[in-house]
Amino acid sequence: MKKILAIALVALCAVGFAFANGASESTQNVSTDGSTSMEAVIGSLAEAFMIEHPEITVTYNPTGSGSGITAVQEGRCDIGLSSRALHDDEKAAGLTETVLALDGIAIIVNNSNPVTDLTLEQIADIYTGKIINWSEVGGNDGAIVLIGREAGSGTRDGFESITGTEDLCQYRQELTSTGDVITTVSTNPNAIGYASLSAVSDSTKTLAVNGVLPSEETVLSGEYLVQRPFVMATRSGEALSDAAQMFYDYALSSEAAPIIAGAGAVPLN
């Protein structure tokens, strides 16, 4: 009986300590809200930032670019995240955009595919099913196999909005990760897929779009077309809280550049 009592006491103490540690000093909060595509970038930035500033908590609410912009307009978050440039009316409504990074999307085919270059229109036609055979774009005879990402994926959203193929793509496969897309394209001679620029490797062939191969330079210069900006939206003429300003400055600093690159985007600074 004594033993059981002792165990119970020890357990009680352990629980007590756990709670005591949880409810420590109050913390400052930076809230971000918006684009799901920016999850990796903001996630790794926030993680690195919170290691340097343990007294500040950065939260991220993945709701989509549109909701993030609305949220910052209505003052429900400190920084809105958008994976498209702000529209003029949104800027007129009192928002300032700061481009944090650029996101290049590579179009990949199997290494055995002789095609090296497609125009943006050809890519759109291929994904909407108007072009169905590789011979129509200068390749071998073979039905084109369209590989894409699942609904809700940021890469899919980016690709479809740049090529203007929203809700029109006739996918043969919808895979749930960049790695799966690359593996599938590398094993099927007639496949075409898209993946974040940072993730592609030698196992597949990256196509030039309108004659420009994607690279950090061509994405930065804007010559490579399948790209979009990652934007931080803030309320014009209204100062950020100290903590939010610190995070904002940190995200744009040269210190953050390798972290952004590590998360798959092209940093501007």
List residues binding other proteins (CB under 8 A).
1, 4, 36, 62-64, 67, 142-145, 150-154, 157, 166-167, 171-176, 180, 183-184, 187-188, 190-191
Tokens found for residue 48: 């690195």
Q: 118: left (phi > 0), else alpha (psi -120 to 50), else beta?
A: beta
Give the shortest CB-149-to-other proteins separation in angstroms: 9
Least separation, in Å, of the C-beta of 36 and other proteins?
5
Q: Between vectors from CA 259 to CA 226 and to CA 78, what angle results, nearest 5°?
A: 85
Contact 224, 209 (CB under 8 A): yes
Which of 188, 234 has the CB closer to other proteins?
188
Stretch (H or E) spanning 145: strand 145-149
Q: Which lies closer to other proteins via its Cβ, residue 73 or residue 173?
A: 173
Q: How far is CA 255 from the centre of its chain?
A: 20
CB proximity list for 6: less than 8 A, separation 6 or greater = none
Q: How many CA atoms lie within 13 A of 233 on its CB side?
A: 32
Q: How far is the CB of 225 from other proteins (least distance, A)?
A: 23
Phi and psi at 95, nearest 5°, equal -120, 145
Minimum Å distance from CB 103 to other proteins?
16
Contacts of 129 (CB under 8 A, 6+ apart): 170
Kind and range of the H or E run holding 241: none
In the complex, least distance from residue 65 CB atom to other proteins, rounded to whole angstroms = 12
Are 108 and 195 in contact by the 8 Å Cβ rule? The answer is yes
The least CB distance from residue 108 to other proteins, in Å, is 15
Angle at CA of residue 29, ends 25 and 30, nearest 5°: 160
Phi and psi (nearest 5°) for 210? 50, 35
C-beta of 202: minimal distance to other proteins in Å? 17
CB closer to other proteins, 88 vs 141: 141
Nearer Cβ to other proteins, position 117 or 180?
A: 180
Q: In terms of Cα–Cα distance, which of 99, 121, 126, 78 is closest to 229?
A: 99
**CB closer to other proteins, 93 vs 168:** 168
